[in-house]
Structure 1
Amino acid sequence: MERLSESLYFYAALFDCLESALPRASLERLKMERSLLGEEIKNIIACEGAERKQRHEKLERWNQRFDLAGFGNVPLSYYAMLQAKRLLQSFNCDGYKIKEENGCVVICWQDRPLFSVSAWRFRR
């Protein structure tokens, strides 16, 4: 049930941000919804075990995986965060936000995290 509700929130935010950027009748949007997002959603909701290829996991889980594999987080600099925010502003996209979380850049639609960017290095 948790996978279903998390998927619902994630894809609702993703479709909301698509709605703000592309008209519903846009050929590019229709192709992306049908071929990319449709297959991804179907895989997450309907498949189990080895059949399931898509696995959306929270940033905390990825941090744990990297840590257990011997990697350490390299916090992104203030300049990198500033550059990311300026780049987003240059596209004039209302609704998107960029925030810093545990040394990672998190791209959000409204307040819903969609994607994160981080840097890691192997601990010696």
Structure 2
Amino acid sequence: MLGKQKKNLPLSLCDSSSSNKMVNFLKGMWKLRPRVMVVTEQESNVNGSSLAERVDKVLEFYGVLFKCLERSVPEAVVERIMMERGVLGEEIKNIVGCEGVERKERHEKLESWIPRLELAGFVRVPIGYEEMMLAGKELLAYGNEYMLHQENKCLFVKWNDKPLFSVSAWKV
């Protein structure tokens, strides 16, 4: 289906090798015809082309994420140290320090993913009430600064009212 629609895709989805890879990936996912596909993404837009834009977005998003970890997980916990240095630190280094194909971290907000997935033939399905309640209960274990927000059949994990992650479910 996506292959037939490619001529109708916005230029931004067709004009670069990384966009072509995304189109091919989504086309392959559509061919698998999953009953449900769950997409989780950081609610940050660090895929900008200019270094200044990426630095601004990194400071904005990761500043909140580090503050949230600081308040939620004790400093001496090994998993926190590993997360900060091994995962988040490497992501930041890649976003700010790499260009072109060397840059692997290209997070975009859900609002950027929705049209791509819809053009690929996927349809949004709501996150179930039971799943949302279970996720909310899990979040409360880390403090009352966390909350879940449901919007347009998607779920957002927020900390102090700042979106951190989105979760959406899709079907063919």
| Same fold? TM cut 0.5 | yes
Within a 5 Å distance, the mapping from 1:4-43 to structure 2 comes to: 4-43=55-94
Alpha-carbon distance in 1 for matches of 2:101, 2:142: 41
- How far the C-alpha of 1:92 sits from its partner, in A, is 4.8
Is 2:146 aligned against 1:96? yes
Cα contact 1:10–1:112 (8 A) shared by 2: no
C-alpha change, 1:14 and 1:92, in structure 2 (3 Å) is closer
2:165 maps to what in 1? 115
- Percent identity of equivalent pairs: 52
**Cα RMSD over matched residues?**
1.7
Gaps of 5+ in 2: 1-51
Alpha-carbon distance in 2 for matches of 1:37, 1:92: 19
Alpha-carbon distance in 1 for matches of 2:147, 2:126: 19
Large movers: runs of 4+ above 3 Å: 77-80
Gaps of 5+ in 1: none
Alpha-carbon distance in 1 for matches of 2:148, 2:111: 17
Greater length-normalized contact order (CA 8 Å, ≥ 6 residues apart):
2
Is 2:111 aligned against 1:55? no
C-alpha change, 1:52 and 1:20, in structure 2 (3 Å) is same
TM-score (norm 1): 0.86
Alpha-carbon distance in 2 for matches of 1:45, 1:92: 30
Alpha-carbon distance in 2 for matches of 1:5, 1:102: 28
TM-score (norm 2): 0.64
Instruction: Please identify the structure whose Cα radius of gyration is greater.
Output: 2
C-alpha change, 1:102 and 1:42, in structure 2 (3 Å) is same
Alpha-carbon distance in 2 for matches of 1:118, 1:22: 26
- Pairs aligned (count): 121
Once the two structures are superposed, residues 58-90 of structure 1 have per-residue CA deviations (whole angstroms, 9 ceiling, x without a partner) of 11001111011111111223343333223323x
Give the letter aligned to residue 160 of structure 2. Q
Alpha-carbon distance in 2 for matches of 1:75, 1:93: 26
- How far the C-alpha of 1:42 sits from its partner, in A, is 0.4
